[in-house]
Each structure stands twice: as C-alpha cells, then as structure tokens.
C-alpha cells in the first residue's frame, strides 16, 4: 500500500498561494505607509543646524534690539511651502512648521548676534531695554525649490539697521541663502532650511559688522555727541572702531 496521502482537488491552489505569499509580502512592504486618519502632520522646528560662532558680548558695544520678524504674503502661517512650477506655492500635507517661521527666526537672530562680539547686549523686541540700535527683519521667502537643479531650500530676508534715537536707517540689505535638499518631502525641506538659515545668519552678522564700521568712519563725531545724551548708545563708537 502506498504511504503517500491522496491529494485532494484543492491542493494545487493552496500550494500556489503559498509560493506567491513571499512576493506579495515584499510588494506590500514597498508601499508608502499612510498616516492614520486621526494623526496630524509632523511638526518641524526652524533652527540653525550649527551653534552660533563667536565669543559673546562686547563690553564697549551698543545694545541692539531685534524686532519681531514680519512675513511677506504667502509665508505668514505654519505651512511648509514648496515650488514645482514657477510662481506657484504649494504646501506639504504631511509636514508643518512648529510655529510660523517668522516667529522662530527672531530667537535664532538674537542668539547669533549676541555671540558675534559686536554688541554689549542683544534683546528681543519689543523690549523696555534702552537700545541704541534696532534691527528690522522681513521674511520674503522660505520654500523648498523642487523646480531648481539640484533642488534646494531658498531663504530670503530683508534687513534694516536703524538708529533708535534719530530713527535714521543706517543700512539695509537683502539676504539670500540656499542649501541643497534633493529629496522630496517635509523632512528634507526642514533639513535644508536649517542649513540655509546658517548661511543667512552668517551673512546677517557680516551686514551688521559692515554697517557699524561704515557709520563709524562717516559719522563718528555725530555718534560721540549722541552717546552723551542717548542711554544705551555710549558703546556705539567703541563697537566699530576696531572693525
């Protein structure tokens, strides 16, 4: 008598399904994972990738007040913007900023300029502190440029350094920075934004240094007179004399 069990009529389909199961599992693993319907988008901080360089405050420097950053239309909220076609802003559905980028920029600017050895103190405005200078900033653009080759994050700021007592604009500059971000998605955009912010902050430090030096060369006598009457401005002359 044969020891082999008699195969039923359904044995072949079962064996075929067993052979196909590993391939089906591999195909499913390659599919993108969908977020649960009740789970919100991921949140990302806009912060420098590197700590601010510098040795800290300068004892004979002026006090600087960094005002709240204003945002241009299209960049006011917490949406993470990207561009695939010129002049068309879109937003990532699965990622958002932790707060409006303009609000996250102010503390990054304060920390960087406080460490730049240009100012005796740097405070976030509006503040009751008696500051000689005010820094106004406007966020003109922050987006993941997927239409560029290679793709990257673009950050554009407008800076104005103002003498508070006279309300005179000492200098202005348009600051543009970019960083590679070849991958598509909010996470890649956040990483690229951090590197672009590093470059923009470095340019902002150069702007302040050059503006102080230029004013010291052209208006030193005026500032010496103002320092005797304007609280907080007594260190303005010294901050720029060695630059």
CB 196 within 8 Å of CB 178: yes
User: How far is the CA of 176 from the CAs of 105, 140, 155, in angstroms?
Assistant: 15, 9, 6
pLDDT digits (tens, 9 = 90+) for 158-184: 999 999 999 999 999 999 999 999 999
Mean pLDDT by 10 residues, the chain (243 residues): 50 50 42 52 96 80 96 97 95 97 98 95 94 97 96 98 95 98 97 98 97 82 49 50 43
* Entry pTM: 0.75
Q: What is the 3 state secondary structure string of 112-171?
A: HHHCECCCCEEEECCCCCCCCEEEEEEEEEEEEECCCCCCEEEEEEEEEEEECCCCEEEE
Domains along the sequence of the chain with CATH:
58-241 (3.40.50.10610)
Q: Output the pLDDT for position 40.
A: 87
Q: Output the pLDDT for position 27.
A: 41
CB 79 within 8 Å of CB 96: yes
Q: How far apart are CA 233 and CA 228, in angstroms?
A: 8
Burial class (CB in 10 A: 0-12, 13-18, 19+), 73: exposed
Question: In this structure, what is the dihedral angle of CA atoms 123, 169, 166, 205, given to the nearest 10 degrees?
Answer: 30
Burial 39-61 (b: 16+ CB within 10 A, else e): eebbebebbbeeebebeebbeeb
């Amino acid at each position: 008598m044969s020891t082999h069990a008699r195969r039923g009529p359904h044995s072949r389909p079962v064996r075929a399904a067993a052979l196909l199961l590993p391939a089906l599992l591999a195909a499913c693993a390659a599919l993108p994972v969908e977020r649960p319907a009740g789970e919100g988008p991921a949140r990302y901080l806009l912060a420098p990738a590197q700590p601010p360089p510098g040795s800290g405050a300068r004892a004979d420097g002026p006090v600087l007040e960094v005002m709240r950053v204003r945002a241009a239309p299209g960049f006011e909220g917490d949406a993470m913007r990207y561009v695939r076609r010129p002049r068309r802003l879109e937003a990532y559905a699965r990622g958002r900023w932790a707060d409006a980028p303009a609000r996250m920029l102010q503390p990054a600017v304060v920390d960087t300029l406080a460490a730049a050895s240009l100012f005796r103190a740097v405070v976030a405005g509006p503040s009751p502190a008696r500051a000689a200078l005010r820094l106004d900033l406007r966020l003109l653009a922050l987006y993941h440029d997927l239409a560029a080759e290679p793709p990257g994050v673009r950050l554009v700021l407008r800076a104005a350094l103002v003498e508070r007592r006279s309300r005179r604009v000492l200098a202005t500059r348009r600051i543009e920075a970019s960083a590679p971000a070849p991958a598509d998605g909010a996470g890649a955009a956040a990483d690229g934004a951090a590197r672009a912010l590093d470059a923009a902050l470095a340019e902002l430090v150069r702007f302040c240094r050059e503006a102080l030096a230029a004013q010291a060369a052209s208006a030193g006598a005026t500032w010496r007179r103002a320092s005797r009457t304007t609280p907080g401005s007594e260190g303005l002359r010294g901050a720029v004399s060695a630059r």
